[in-house]
Structure 1
């Protein structure tokens, strides 16, 4: 895609989002590990985490990672890391594992706070097979080598198209 070209916006239907969330919930319940808390990674993981917490019938916590407010996410991650050290199982949820940057940051911050990584799992709705990190649960996979669409989740669809395009254009390596 040339720098001047607009990204291909792909709007995910609400019913597809619900089906994907239920697919993640089923994947979790098929295993022997069950979370004590679902942890939504803000901003994109908050809505899926709410739905998933209801589907799994477990409480939800949230971490606002996307705001980039210094110290804010780190303080909350330190608190949940302490919970994991006490044996509490935590399922972190985001909308997409695209480059893996968010999940890698969360894992690093958790480790820096003494997290027991055996008590932590990650789930996403969309998992890029070329991501630098792996997740434990996902509904669907994409391959960024072939799939250059910019996914617009239902909660993002209320945003202005110009804002969505601007966000997509801020990470051209995912679209090229």
Structure 2
């Protein structure tokens, strides 16, 4: 799903729009096989991670704290590289686990990549899901399409995204 008026410069995603994105993502994820573990990237990725876990019937939900944006402002400055806050928060994975890593928004995809790099080699499958891809930032950071790095994308927009749980 692409969100646009010629692709919006900013997106105010409503609860209804969020629900629509998640239902579509859950259907595609289910078609590829239900994961055994869902990992949310803190902070913004936890809301969609928990919601997806409910829709998928997955009870094992984990969190990993990764900071890439320095503050809450529109077009906020970013750290040069995503910072992992507590890698031990992921816990121990059963060998052969099928893991879905979830984030709210991807600009460069770097936070998702870092989260995936923290998973042990014993994990059998790792998939990435993101509610919205900011295509402007993606184009600056990557030569390819978001689908090369994100298996499941709810929507795209050409700019900043505000989610319904964020302060307005």
Establish whether TM, by shorter chain, passes 0.5.
yes
Distance, in Å, in 2 between the alignment partners of 1:21 and 1:105 is 23
Normalising by structure 2, report the TM-score.
Answer: 0.70
Larger-Rg structure: 1
Within 5 Å, give how 1:27-176 maps onto structure 2: 27-31=28-32, 33-59=33-59, 60-66=61-67, 72-77=85-90, 79=91, 82-83=92-93, 86-110=95-119, 114-116=120-122, 118-127=124-133, 128=135, 130=139, 132=142, 134-142=149-157, 147=158, 149-156=159-166, 158=167
Distance, in Å, in 2 between the alignment partners of 1:115 and 1:141 is 31
Distance, in Å, in 2 between the alignment partners of 1:71 and 1:16 is 30
Paired residues in the alignment total 137
Distance, in Å, in 1 between the alignment partners of 2:85 and 2:121 is 17
Query: In proportion to residue count, which structure has more helix?
Result: 1
* Alignment-derived partner of residue 76 in structure 2: none
Secondary structure of residue in 2 paired with 1:66? strand
Distance, in Å, in 2 between the alignment partners of 1:21 and 1:73 is 27
Per-residue deviation, residues 52-93 of structure 1 (Å, max 9, x unmatched): 11111112222222399x87431124x3xx415x11211110
Distance, in Å, in 2 between the alignment partners of 1:29 and 1:99 is 26
Structure 1's consecutive aligned runs of 4 or more residues displaced over 4 angstroms after TM superposition are none
| Two-structure CA RMSD over aligned residues (Å) | 2.5
Structure 1 residue runs of 5 or longer lacking an equivalent are 1-7, 160-176
Q: 1:151 to 1:72 in 2, by over 3 A?
A: closer
Instruction: Give 1:38 shift.
Output: 1.3
Secondary structure of residue in 1 paired with 2:28? helix
Secondary structure of residue in 2 paired with 1:91? strand
